[in-house]
Amino acid sequence: MLILVADDDDDLRAAMVEALQSEGHTTIEAHDGEELLELLERAQDDASGCLDVLITDVKMPKLSGLGVLEALRGARWNLAVVVVTAFSDQSIDTVAMRLGATTVLHKPFGSDELLTAVHDAKRHLLAG
């Protein structure tokens, strides 16, 4: 799978990328919400690079993960979205799911939880 990982925490983003690549996935990285949207636009223009999963943190500079989901609303993306958050506020989960997230993953999490969330999100998208 081709997976876009967006998180402003360099260490966490690197750990997620390492876990995903160790399972054979190809990854693209973004440091904030604006860069994430730019990479999504490029992926949409590049028919050969079909993006399968987006992993986005809720709190990022320039544009939050929820802001990204809001911006993607109405777009014709066939994309599984995993939202990661350090907030235990149930309202964030509810908003993320309403905006199109397929899974919400709470920090801290391990690589097994991340991989399960990615596969579950992709399975959910294929079933829907």
Whole-model pTM: value is 0.92
Q: In the chain, where are the structural domains located?
A: 2-127
| CATH T-level fold of 2-127 | Rossmann fold (3.40.50)
- What the block records as the tokens of 38 is 């730019």
User: How would residue 126 be classed by pLDDT, with cut points 50, 70 and 90?
Assistant: confident
Query: Which is it for the CA torsion 43, 47, 49, 54, positive or negative?
Result: positive
CA 37 to chain centre: 11
pLDDT in tens, 12-69: 999 999 999 999 999 999 999 999 999 988 877 665 558 899 999 999 999 999 999 9
